[in-house]
A and B are shown apart, each in its own frame.
Chain A
Amino acid sequence: DGGITQSPKYLFRKEGQNVTLSCEQNLNHDAMYWYRQDPGQGLRLIYYSQIVNDFQKGDIAEGYSVSREKKESFPLTVTSAQKNPTAFYLCASSLNPGQSNQPQHFGDGTRLSIL
């Protein structure tokens, strides 16, 4: 079955450490997204990519970095500059970023906590 796989499901970070969250999709979608979800809040966009080797900052990009070297992969690095990284991180993809009627497909998320 096609879908989006996020790993790991749970991740712990020590102070001053960078960690990378994996996101892989086999839907052949062009666009991929990273969101952060905090309790009682909606999703906030961190980064998005509409095509391989290109990505744009979302609303809360500070302290995060991404790469898009392959169509199916869009890893997110949470750097030590992100002072409050504890959150639930969701990766999504959509078929054609140029069409507003395309829904996003989501992975099951990674929960990041600080040790």
Chain B
Amino acid sequence: AQSVTQLDSHVSVSEGTPVLLRCNYSSSYSPSLFWYVQHPNKGLQLLLKYTSAATLVKGINGFEAEFKKSETSFHLTKPSAHMSDAAEYFCVVTPFNAGKSTFGDGTTLTVKP
């Protein structure tokens, strides 16, 4: 069985300050991990993915995530928040056998001017 826990349902930062969105997972074998972003009334857009290559993954819009197997974590970071980053973020795990994906409950990011 696999699961995903997004540790914060809401995160609020000021524009220009760092962003940290936390994700812990559990999976029987080496999974693939993804971060998606969703703006209001829109579908999900892929930010980045980890697929057993480099543990530090760079994505779009300045986001990156680090896969830490020992901590079973895949936290999403960005050095400097922009107003346009305000959205819902989802961490997703897919098992190595390409079974069904499991979505976290999401983290709402608010960016204050």
Is B98 within 8 A of A106, CB to CB? no
On chain A, the residues within 8 Å of B32 by CB distance are 100-101
CA–CA, A41 to B51, complex, Å? 25
Is B31 within 8 A of A100, CB to CB? yes
Known: A40-B9, A100-B51, A101-B32. A109 touches B41 (CB 8 A): yes
CA–CA, A100 to B42, complex, Å? 24
On chain A, the residues within 8 Å of B34 by CB distance are 103
CB contacts under 8 Å to B, within A48-106, are: 48, 58, 88, 90, 92, 97-106
On chain A, the residues within 8 Å of B49 by CB distance are 101, 103
Closest to B9 in A: A40
Closest to A108 in B: B43
Q: From DSSP, what is the main secondary structure of chain B's interface residues? A: loop
On chain A, the residues within 8 Å of B97 by CB distance are 100
Closest to B49 in A: A103
Q: Is A45 an interface residue (CB 8 A)?
A: yes
How many chain A residues have a CB neighbour from B under 8 Å? 27
How many chain B residues have a CB neighbour from A under 8 Å? 26
CB contacts under 8 Å to A, within B91-106, are: 94-98, 100-101, 103-106
Closest to B52 in A: A101
Is B31 within 8 A of A90, CB to CB? no
Q: Is B46 an interface residue (CB 8 A)?
A: yes
CA–CA, A65 to B77, complex, Å? 39
Q: Is B55 an interface residue (CB 8 A)?
A: no
Known: A43-B103, A45-B100. A107 touches B43 (CB 8 A): yes
Can you list 15 residue pairs at the A/B interface with Cβ under 8 Å? A40-B106, A41-B106, A42-B106, A43-B44, A43-B103, A90-B44, A100-B96, A100-B97, A101-B51, A104-B46, A105-B46, A107-B43, A108-B41, A108-B43, A111-B41
